[in-house]
Amino acid sequence: MEKLEFENQEVKADLADEALSEVKAPKEYAVKWTHFLLFIGLFLGIGIIVGIFLGIFDIFSEANIVELFTAGYIGLILDAVIFFIALFSFKRIRKFVFAVLDFSVLREKKTYLYLLAGFVIFYLSQYLFIEVVKVDDNTQQAVNLGTDSVNNLWQYILAAFSLALITPIKEELLYRGIAHQFLQERHNFWVGLIVTSLIFGLSHLGTPFSAIIMGVVFVLLFKLTKSLVPSILLHIVWNTLVLSLMFLS
């Protein structure tokens, strides 16, 4: 009996020491500012290098290849490829993002209620800012994305791959998976939500206000499900709908 009491006291002492060490130990971040800035620098650096090579090729070939590969949906594909090269080249950032790609949340019914709510908010915000308040204007969207010049099956496939699949995945990984997670970890949830939603909105020319709302919804969906998968899925569904309407019009 005395031996058992002595062992219990040792266990309690060890637990107390662990709790004390957790209090005293500085907080460790999965991604530090140096990692975050190095990744952004790598992403932009690869883009600059690719742009230089395209420019040199353009000069000697006179093929006008820079405009072809940097505008519209083709430009978005190239941007996504550069992003994924940077992501898979940076192990710490890759692990940071992949840790929140939890597909098990798709087995929960509440996830689909969140997705439905997000879709409704997207529709209402677009109607409000485009049709009622008229601070957003999507009339140039088809021109900016290059979908107005699509005229064959191969171009339809490329446009769909770019706008309805690869771009939503890339944007969710970048804005929510990397930027929001990093800012939330270093500061707090609200800093991540505000900063990433504003940047996301301002990057969508013509519809910044409704895009800001979309950014907020994506962050909230990420927080509610603790997974990036529902945000990616909603983004794909919404972009597919918008792209389909562009083609039909």
Yes or no: say if 58 and 64 are a contact pair by the CB < 8 Å rule: yes
Half-sphere exposure of 245 (CA within 13 A, CB side): 9
As a whole number of Å, the CA-based R_g of the chain is 23
- Judge whether 11 lies within some domain: no
Tens digits of per-residue pLDDT, 190-240? 999 999 999 999 999 889 999 999 999 999 999 999 999 999 999 999 999
Which pLDDT band, with edges at 50, 70 and 90, does 158 fall under? very high
% the chain with pLDDT above 90: 67
Which pLDDT band, with edges at 50, 70 and 90, does 63 fall under? low
- Judge whether 124 lies within some domain: yes
Position 21 pLDDT exceeds 50: no
Half-sphere exposure of 125 (CA within 13 A, CB side): 19
The domain tally of the chain equals 1
- Judge whether 7 lies within some domain: no
Q: Which domain holds residue 73?
A: 33-248
Q: Quote the mean pLDDT of the chain.
A: 87
124 or 26: whose pLDDT is higher?
124
- Classify 130 as helix, strand or coil: helix
- Judge whether 129 lies within some domain: yes
Tens digits of per-residue pLDDT, 128-156? 999 999 999 988 888 888 888 888 889 89
Say what the pLDDT of residue 6 is: 43
Q: Rounded to an integer, what distance in angstroms lies between the CA atom of residue 152 and that of residue 33? A: 46
Q: What number is the average pLDDT over the span 167-183?
A: 97
- Judge whether 9 lies within some domain: no
Which pLDDT band, with edges at 50, 70 and 90, does 72 fall under? confident
- Judge whether 228 lies within some domain: yes
Say what the pLDDT of residue 24 is: 38
- Judge whether 14 lies within some domain: no
